A and B are shown apart, each in its own frame.
Chain A
Amino acid sequence: MATATRSIPDPAALRRRGRFNPGDAILYGVTLGAALSALVLLILIAREILADAWPAMKEFGLGFLTSTTWEPTRDIYGAGAFLFGTALTSFAALLLAAPISIAIALFLTELAPRWLRGPVGALVEMLASVPSVVLGLWGILVMGPWIVEHVGPFLHRTLGWTPFFKTEPVAGPSILSAILILTIMMVPIISSICRELFLNVPRELKEGALALGATRWELVRGVIFPYARAGIAAAMILGLGRAVGEAIAVTQVIGNNEAITWNLFDPGDTLASRIASSYVGATSKMQISALVYLAVILLAFSLVVNLVARVIVQRVTARQEGRA
């Protein structure tokens, strides 16, 4: 980007040289306006949300983050259960999605025969274009019953001694359903970024390693992973951001209960899912305000995730440009 702006002279310079063109000025104005509007919109959204959340922020303070009470009938609200649910579902999904995504990316860049790379890559990326509401429906109709009948009993038999699969699964909507749906959503994001990263590993490094007699695995472990490490971290953080913010598909399959539980067969809830399921039917001003307070937490978290990923990517590109 830096090189691109340098190569095109700015309008002031053009004017000095007497080559000023009104068309250019209009183009400049329009594009500048568009760029600024994004910033203004973000500020307006943040301001509006803060204003609406203010009554709940004043009433519940920071204790809102740890309180696990959510009782519309008594107008007492706390985000604790939803923070827990959001963290549990998105980190578990990341745990599943990261190795799968990295494996897909490795396969597509290093191991697959050339004719296979295009179609398989396109298929994986197509997963990202499945609308989340459709994925949620599939979760209700197909995956939920499948977990209850097949996967769940197996997990309970083999891993029933862990806190995660303590009971027999009973109903389709559960934390596990949400985790699996989020995993499906994260895989295309993380794998496509990783594929780009692996493709960008300098050819001479790879060839050098192979010339020294490295096996494929040694090449992956010794050259590709160290080179792409920071980028992989950024990809995972972006995937996490997607999982944290996903509302519709999660609310369809998670079972919307305020309980805090490690048992993945139980229903739970997340920040985004609670906002999606409860906003329209909110019965009191305080409930609306508390829901917007959840949105504030979500917004703050998303901004932080985005910033962290951005910083990592910048550091990586700076390092790579330094080498090049």
Chain B
Amino acid sequence: MSFKRSVTAVALVAIVGVVIAVAAGARSHGTLSGAGATFPQPLIAIWQQQYKRDQINYNGIGSGGGIAAITNRTVDFGASDAPLTPDQFAACKGCVQMPWVLSATSVMYNLDGVKNAMHMNGRLIADIYMGRVTNWNDARIKRLNPGVNLPDRKITPVYRSDGSGTTYNFTDYLTSVSSAFKSRVGGPSTTVNWPTGVGARGSSGVAGVVTRTEGAVGYADIAYALNNHIKFAAVQNRSGKWATPGLRSIKAAASADKKFSSTNELSIVNPPKGKKYLRAYPISTYSYVIVPLQSGKAAQLKSFITWAVTSGQRFGPKLIFQPVPLYVVNRVKAQLKRVH
């Protein structure tokens, strides 16, 4: 008898589950579902509360997962910190990507007795990640940080072992400042073959290894480093100034009317010398939203993304997301016209 009873119980639970699911589905007739990068997730979380026209569901499963989800059309929109590769673009069959969020990647470090915002430049970071500079008391680091007491300690570079938009941004910068890095490691790419160092999964994994390893250096989006009180470097830009990742320095990096690629890529790393970019933080990046050109929810998608790149941007600064500049907003609006 107990068998029969437990079968009945299981059936009841299943029925209740289905009823709840159906009821939930019915309530949210205007729903948009998205998946992808964790980087814009804090901002999207606020959008979910503030956007009234539809209910937005978002699953932060990583850029790679978001691209896979929109390619298989299991979501209405995908989000990725790295632009689609040609293979991914072809596989997505009629997708359009648009920049919709703007922030920066921080270079974190764990070094006892050294304060926040120690000085680094692109060549140095590239050489650390290639295993050419291996100790914190290296003459090159000393020269950039006069007066700082640098310990005799091995440098442990930490990188993302999973495919990551942050890795894309970081290698985009390193390949642009170091030709040695470009030929030895390659990129920009969401995954590269790091010659040395320790891999960890996700921003949390990288931050975890950095905070637990004396002498480690790693990278993650700036909001992550700030929220977890991890020290990050001031990086020298091409005007020779030391810039820490922050709203002003990201704004300066994005102030150029740079040309979009035919697939709407927009790289703003390592901006050129010039008055406009005096304060620019050189590892700034856009994050992208990806939608199918033909969608059953075209009207809803258009209205949500238009809102996100205009009114939605005002929630960004608190989380170190710099509002995207006007020319990007205009580009997004023009591109959205292609979606039906």
Contact = CB atoms under 8 A, between A and B. Distances in A.
A69 B195 CA distance: 11
Interface stretch (B50-58, B114-122, B185-193, B232-240): B185-193
Interface stretch (B9-17, B207-215, B267-275): B207-215
Interface of B: 61-65, 68, 85, 87-88, 91, 154, 156, 158, 161-164, 185-187, 189-194, 196-201, 205, 208-209, 212-213, 215-216
A281 B85 contact: no
Contact of B62 (A140, A170, A267, A281): A281
B216 A171 contact: yes
B198 A72 contact: no
A281 B63 contact: yes
Contacts of B199: 173, 255-257, 267, 269, 277
A72 B156 CA distance: 22
A278 B198 contact: no
Contacts of A257: 194, 196-199
Contact of B187 (A73, A173, A277, A278): A73
B87 A284 contact: yes
A281 B160 CA distance: 11
B198 A171 contact: yes
Contact of B191 (A144, A145, A267, A283): A283
A73 B212 contact: no
Contact of A171 (B87, B163, B213): B213
Contact of B213 (A70, A172, A283): A172
A81 B199 CA distance: 15
B161 A170 contact: no
A46 B285 CA distance: 42
Contacts of B88: 283
B325 to A, nearest CB: 28
Interface in A107-150: 140, 144-145, 148
A281 B209 contact: no
A210 interface: no
B85 to A, nearest CB: 5
A282 B62 CA distance: 12
Contacts of B215: 170
A186 to B, nearest CB: 23
Contact of A173 (B185, B186, B200): B200
Given A171-B198, A256-B199, A72 B193 contact: yes
Q: For A144, A170, A283, which residue has the most chain B Cβ atoms within 10 angstroms? A: A283
Given A255-B198, A283-B87, A285-B87, A172 B212 contact: yes
Contacts of B198: 171, 173, 255-257, 267
B64 A170 contact: no
Interface residues of A, number: 33
Contact of B85 (A255, A278, A280, A284): A284
B171 to A, nearest CB: 8
Contacts of A172: 209, 212-213
A278 B191 contact: yes
A26 B190 CA distance: 54
B87 to A, nearest CB: 5
Contacts of A191: none
A252 B201 contact: yes
Contacts of B208: 140
A251 B201 CA distance: 8
Contacts of B87: 283-285
A74 interface: yes
A246 interface: no
A171 B216 CA distance: 8
Contacts of B162: 277-278, 280-281
Contacts of B187: 73
Contacts of A74: 186
Interface string A262-291: 000001010000000110111111010000
B228 to A, nearest CB: 15
Contacts of B185: 73
A99 B146 CA distance: 55
A73 B64 contact: no
B190 A277 contact: no
A167 to B, nearest CB: 9
Given A72-B192, A168-B154, A284-B85, 7 more contacts: A173-B209, A255-B198, A257-B196, A280-B62, A281-B190, A283-B163, A284-B87
A288 to B, nearest CB: 9
A284 B199 CA distance: 21
